[in-house]
Chain A
Amino acid sequence: MHPVRGAVLAMTVALGCAAAQRGEGLDVAAIPPAMRADYELFADRCSRCHSVARPLSAHVENATHWTNYVARMRRQPGAMISEAEGVRIVSFLVWFHDEHRDGGAR
C-alpha cells in the first residue's frame, strides 16, 4: 500500500475510534453513588503504573485474592497507596467483579 494512502486509512480509523470515546476505565454514571469515590481512588492510584484495564480484566474470584493482589501492588516503589486506601480499592474491585459476573455495569 502507498504510504500516503496507508496514513490516511490509519488516521480515518483512528478518528473513528477516537469519536467513540470509550476509555480503559468505567462510565462513572453507571457506578452506584456509594461506590464512585472508591472507583475514582482506584482509577487514580492504579493508573500510575499500568492501565486500569489490567485489574478490571483480571481473573480474580474472591475478596481474599483481591486483598493479596492489591497488597502486592501497594508494595511497588512509589505506589503511594496507604493501607486504608488499599481496603477501599479492594472494596471497589470486589463489587465490580461481582457486578461484571452478573453482566452488570461496564
Chain B
Amino acid sequence: MRPRWLPLVLVAAGTAAPFAARAVEFNFAGTLQLDYLYTPFTASDPRPSSFVLDGFTQELSLKVAADLGRHTTANVKACFGCHGFEAGMGYVDFHLSDAFNVRVGRFTPTFGEFNLRHDPGNHRLSDKPLPYDMGRMLRFFDFGRSVLPSPYVDNGIEVWGSHFFGPRVQVSYAAHAVTGLRSLSPNAQDVDFASMRSASGLVIDNNSEPSVGGRLGVTFRLANRVDLSLGSSALYGRYDPAGRLQYTVLGGDLFLRLPTTNIRAEYLIRRTEMDATDPTTLAFEVAGVPGDPTRTFNTRDGWYIEVEQRVRPNLDVLLRWDGMRRVGNVGAGSLLDFDAGVSRWTLGAQLTVERGYRIKASAQHYQWWGLRNAPSGEFAVHLGAVATF
C-alpha cells in the first residue's frame, strides 16, 4: 500500500524540479508616476473663469523577469492606472539565437519606436505623444481615441530577432499574430479600446480572426555615440464580432541619437471601417467601400517630432510637436466635422533629483479644428514625479 503522503511528495518534487535543475534568477523592477494636470478654462467656456480642469493621475507598474536559463525568460507585469489593475504582460520568451526568438503570451506587439519606452520611467515627458495617447489629451471624449493607444497589449505569438551587418549596421524584425483590436458592438463604427481591457478580452477573441503585423527596422552607427534608426510597422485585422469590418495601421519611425541630443519622429495612420447598415446612425452622407454600401471608413493619423536636449547631467529639456487628424464619417450627434484635428506644442523638462527619482514638468498649447465645441486654442500644464526601482 502506498503511503498517503507520497502524492504530496511527488507534487512538491515535480514543482521544485525545474528550480533545482537550474538556478532561476528573478529580477524585480517597478515604476511609479504621479502627474498633476492643470488646465484653466478659456474665456469662451460658459463656466466661470475660475474653473479649472485639474487632477492627479497615477501609473504604477511592477514587473518580475525570471531568467530560467540562457534560452528561456518569463516576464510578468502588473499595472495600476486609470483602468485599475491590469496584466500589462505575461509571456515567455524562447531565445534560439539573436536572429530568432519566439514570444508567447500576453505582451505589447512590436509596433513603432515609442512602444518600447512606453513605461513612464522610460520617457521624459509626463504624457505620451498624441498618436499613442491613452486618455491624457484634452477633449479626449469628444475627439475619440488616438491612432494606437499605448501600451497596446494583446495575446498571441511573436517572432523577432536582429542581425549585425558589420559593426555599424543592425537590422531588426518582428512579426506577430495576436487576438487583435476589437469592438463588442455588431454595428461598430470604431475600435473600442476600453473593451480590449475588460476581463473577457484577456481570453476570448471576439471574432476568431487573428490580427497580424510587425516591424522592420535598421540602425546605423554613424559615429561614436551617434546612431540613426529607421523603422516601418504595420497591423491588419478585423475588429467587429462578425469579422466584417477591417482595420489597417501603418507607421514609420526615425530616431537620431547624438551625444547629448535625441531626435525622434513617428507617423501613424489607421484606416478603420465603419458599419453603415443604417445610414441614419451616421452624421454625413455615406460613401460605402467599393462593392459594399453597408461599410464606410475613416482614417485617423497622428505624428510627433521630439527633441530632447541634455543641458546638465541631471536636467533634460524637451520640445515636442505632435498632432492628430481624423477624416471621415462620424456617428450622429458627434461634435466632430468630417475633417477634424489637433496640433499641440509641448515644452518640458525632466530633472533628476536622485538616482531613480525624477521630476517632470511641461507646458502645452493645443490648437483644434473641426471640433465644434472647442476653442481654437487651450493651455495645459503637467507637473509630475516618477520613481523607478
Enumerate chain A residues within 8 angstroms of B172, measured Cβ to Cβ. 77-78
The yes or no answer to A35 lying at the interface (CB within 8 A) is: no
Residue pair B314, A21 in contact (C-beta under 8 Å): yes
CA distance A83 to B97 in the complex (A): 12
A36 in contact (CB, < 8 A): no
- Given that A21-B313, A49-B122 are contacting pairs, would A77 and B98 also be in contact in the complex, using a CB cutoff of 8 Å? no
Task: Please give, as numbers and ranges, the residues of chain B lying within 8 Å of A3 by CB-CB distance.
Answer: 38
Q: Are A57 and B355 in contact (CB under 8 A)?
A: yes
Contact B23 A17 (CB under 8 A): no
Q: Is B182 an interface residue (CB 8 A)?
A: no
Pick the contact of B174 from A23, A68, A77 — CB < 8 Å?
A77
A52-64 toward B: CB 8 Å interface, digit per residue (1/0)? 0110111110101
Asked if A77 contacts B164 (CB within 8 A), the reply is no
Q: Mark B131-153, 1 if CB is under 8 A from A, else 0.
A: 00000000000000000000000
**Inside 8 A of B355's CB, which chain A residues have their CB?**
22, 24, 53, 56-57, 106
Asked if B339 is an interface residue, CB under 8 A from chain A, the answer is no
B162 interface neighbour in A21, A57, A72, A79, Cβ under 8 Å: A79
Given contacts A69-B67, A78-B229, A80-B170, contact A51 B95 (CB under 8 A): no
- Among residues of B, the one whose C-beta sits closest to the C-beta of A61 is B25
Task: Write out the residue numbers on chain B whose beta carbons fall within 8 Å of the beta carbon of A14.
Answer: 349, 351, 359, 361
Which residues of B sit under 8 angstroms from A78, Cβ to Cβ? 162, 170, 172, 217, 219, 229, 231, 255
Q: Of all chain A residues, which has the CB nearest B161?
A: A75
Chain A residues positioned under 8 Å from B225 (CB to CB) = 44
Number of A-B residue pairs at CB separation under 8 A: 125
Assembly CA distance A65 to B98 (angstroms) = 18
Interface residues on B, range: 35 or more
Q: How far is it, in angstroms, between the C-alpha of A82 and the C-alpha of B166 when the chains are bound?
A: 10
Cβ of B353 within 8 Å of any chain A Cβ, yes or no, is yes
Please tell me if A29 contacts chain B, counting CB pairs below 8 Å: no
Select from chain B the residue with minimum beta-carbon distance to A81: B170
B101 within 8 Å of A by Cβ?
A: yes
Q: How far is the CA of A92 from the CA of B356 in the complex (A)?
A: 19
CB contact between B98 and one of A13, A24, A58, A75 (< 8 Å): that residue: A75
Q: Say yes or no: B361 contacts A64, CB within 8 Å.
A: no
Kindly state whether residue A101 has any CB partner on chain B within 8 Å: no
Q: A54-B121, A68-B67, A82-B167 are in contact. Are A77 and B27 (CB under 8 A)?
A: no
Task: Pick the residue among B29, B38, B160, B314 that contacts A58 (CB under 8 A).
Answer: B29
Does A87 interact with chain B (Cβ within 8 Å)?
A: no
Partner of B351, one of A18, A54, A74, A106: A18
Minimum CB distance partner of A23 in chain B: B313
A68-B314 in contact given A53-B388, A54-B388 (Cβ < 8 Å): no
In the complex, the chain B residue whose C-beta lies closest to that of A22 is: B314
A50 touches B217 (CB 8 A): no
Closest beta carbon of chain B to A56's beta carbon, Å: 6
| 9 tightest Cβ-Cβ pairs between the two chains A and B | A23-B313, A68-B67, A65-B25, A77-B172, A53-B356, A23-B314, A50-B122, A78-B219, A53-B355
17 example contacts (A-B, Cβ-Cβ < 8 A) are as follows A14-B349, A14-B351, A14-B359, A14-B361, A17-B353, A22-B355, A23-B352, A44-B225, A49-B116, A54-B29, A60-B27, A72-B67, A77-B172, A77-B215, A77-B217, A78-B255, A82-B164
